[in-house]
Amino acid sequence: MITDKMAEDLLSRTFSTVADQVPPIPPLRWIDARAMRPAERSSLRGRFTAVVRRHRGWTLSIVLVAGVAGAGAGAAASGLFSSSANHVFRHDYAMPLPAAFGQIPAFNPKKEKLEVVDPGPEGTTISVWTYPETSSILCIAGVESKPGKRTSPGKPAAKVSVGGCSGSGSGSQPSGTVPPPQDRKYGADGGIWRGYSGQLFFVRAGNAPAGAKSLVVTLSNGKKITAAVRNGWYAFATTYKLAFGLSGTFYLSNGTAIPGEFAA
């Protein structure tokens, strides 16, 4: 005898299993398009059209990551990372990024650096890691720990929530070196994923304005959450439904608010 609850669980598992066969598509590419000139946007549209129509499976992620946003080759090959962490997020919006499970294959344990650990959903922590893919490409990843635990250096545990690479590449970004700090200070990446309990969460990681020590995020229901900023990086997570229309303010160590708009 199948109960309603069993049928609901079966349906949820079925939908998740089937949907997980579609590889994650890196977020932010429409942000790329929006920031580009019309001619470039047209070109991007054509590229996206061609990609979607002609490619299936992992190729989709790889082409979009490498071709459109110029992400690092290692990250692209992994298929886990989004297009870029180097975008102004004053007005950006990360497209829904379904959970990408697994460790961080593109990261080099000898080079990766743990920047900050902030509270995650369901008793987990979200850790922001950086890794210089090359001298001109910087990758970040937000990693959710196992419940009640923290990730440890060299052994990123559990799931990659969000991530991306910035720097030169073959895509729309200008060639050159690592973007200067003033351009990177608003870099951020966000995604929607399914937590350990099956609930949907919105996770965001990025770097903060100079001197920021904390970020206070106001959710759509008015509730505030605080994320610590360490080494210029932060991360926070909230339930998916409260993420729409959230806003935030960075604060200095003396409690002074840093002017600027933070919106998702």
Partner 1 sequence: MVRLGWLLTGSREVGEDIAHDVFLRVEPKWHDITEPVPYLRHSVVNAARSHHRRRGVERRHLPVPPEATVNPQIDEVWSVVGELPKRQRHALVLRFYLDLTVEQVAVQLDCPLGTAKSLIHRGLAQIKERIGQ
Residue with tokens 């019309």: 38
Q: Which is nearer to partner 1, 214 or 220 (CB)?
A: 220
Min CB(17)–partner 1 separation in Å: 5
Min CB(15)–partner 1 separation in Å: 4
Task: Give the integer Cα–Cα distance in Å for 162 and 169.
Answer: 20
Query: How many CB atoms are located within 10 Å of the residue 218 CB?
Result: 16
Q: Which is nearer to partner 1, 26 or 74 (CB)?
A: 26
Min CB(13)–partner 1 separation in Å: 7
Beta strands 137-144 and 247-251: pairing type?
Answer: unpaired
Contact between residue 159 and residue 101 where contact means Cβ atoms under 8 Å apart: yes
Percentages of the chain per state (helix, strand, coil), in multiples of 5: 25, 30, 45
Min CB(68)–partner 1 separation in Å: 13
Q: Which is nearer to partner 1, 96 or 211 (CB)?
A: 96
Instruction: List contacts with partner 1 (CB under 8 A).
Output: 1-4, 7-8, 10-19, 21-22, 25, 30, 33-34, 41, 45, 48-49, 52-53, 56, 93, 95-96, 98, 199-200, 240, 244-245
Residue with tokens 């200070």: 185
Q: Which is nearer to partner 1, 253 or 261 (CB)?
A: 261
